[in-house]
Amino acid sequence: NRGLLSCFVTISLSFEILVFYSYKVDGFRDKHVFITGCDSGFGNLLAKQLDGKGFQVIAACLTEKGAADLTAATSPRLKTLLLNVTDSESIRKAPPTLSCFPAAGLWGLVNNAGRSIPIGPTDWMEMEDFTKVLDVNLIGLIDVTLQFIPLLKKARGRVVNVASILGRLNLVGGGYCPSKWGVEAFSDSLRKDMSHFGVKVSIIEPGFFKTAVTSVDLINADMRRLWTRLPQHVKNAYGNTYLEDLQDFSMRMLCSADLSQVTRCMEHALTARFPRTRYGAGWDAKLFWIPLSYLPSFVADFVVKTLLPCPEEAKNNRKAS
């Protein structure tokens, strides 16, 4: 009897939670959403998705081609804007030039723009390699958010920040993991500060998906660039086959082609009456990476080390000991 009662209570609570998260806001056609990084990937798909549901979408693209292609694939409601999130001047000009915003303000801001390279072992990096990634993924995200906060407060709207499972668990060196950990921290602070004004903040934590950020060709080409400039003593420490082994690892990473797993989370964060604080997107995130992030550091470190190639010098030290 106790087992049946426990099962009944669990099912009832699960149903109540599902119902709780299923309540939607209304008036999509009166709500404006600003999305960065819409040339391709998550941002591009989300812009089309929200446009199809009647939202007033303002899609920020990095290139004219990206903006033109998106305009051709969507309704006349959708507006595009050329924006480089590393250019503070263009960010400051964005809100005043968007005369389409009503007096009610901006309902949603989706900070999606991002880059991954350079990535690789930390001692392959120079300071510039870190700043290239941090300027887009973290500083640019903060800069855009600060410019749009007045409009978001006016609408009591939503901020949706794209982090990553690598914002919870470090897998590679370079600026990507630090930038995504920074997105997590900034989003947590923003959520607490903006709660006083009715603005809700959600974090999207995707696993591995097939986008420009995870392009094997781009990542491997950049790792070759990093390798060629290394001093010989660093190359010797890693060994002649390390670069090839690392590139093989990047090619073996399973990336899902179903980007809608991520954009559905984004849409829920914008449309649910009670959006979640964090959304794990992708089965690899939910079943492997996020659970691994909760384990003790020595366990997570061990798992990551088994996935990545070992430098030649480390192998020799093990043999000697």
Amino acid, res. 253: M
Confidence of residue 20 (pLDDT cuts 50, 70, 90): very low
Quote the percentage of the chain above a pLDDT of 70: 90
| Superfamily holding 24-212+255-306 | NAD(P)-binding Rossmann-like Domain (3.40.50.720)
Position 21 scores a pLDDT of: 56
Least Cα distance to 203 among 290, 92, 119, 116 occurs for: 290
Give the pTM: 0.89
Position 9 scores a pLDDT of: 47
Parse the chain into domains and list their residue ranges: 24-212+255-306
Amino acid, res. 304: V
Question: Residues 53-67: what's their mean pLDDT?
Answer: 96
Question: What stretches of the chain adopt beta strand conformation (E)?
Answer: 32-35, 56-61, 79-82, 108-111, 158-162, 200-206, 278-281
Could you tell me if 257 and 210 are in contact, meaning their C-beta atoms sit under 8 angstroms apart? Answer: yes
Give the position of tokens 């088994």.
306
Residue 222: how many other CB atoms lie within 10 Å: 18
Position 197 scores a pLDDT of: 97
Whether the predicted pLDDT of 287 surpasses 80: yes
Residue-wise pLDDT for 4-18, tens only, equals: 555 554 555 444 455
Amino acid, res. 195: S
Position 94 scores a pLDDT of: 77
Where is mean pLDDT largest: 28-32, 103-107, 156-160? 156-160
Catalytic residues: 176
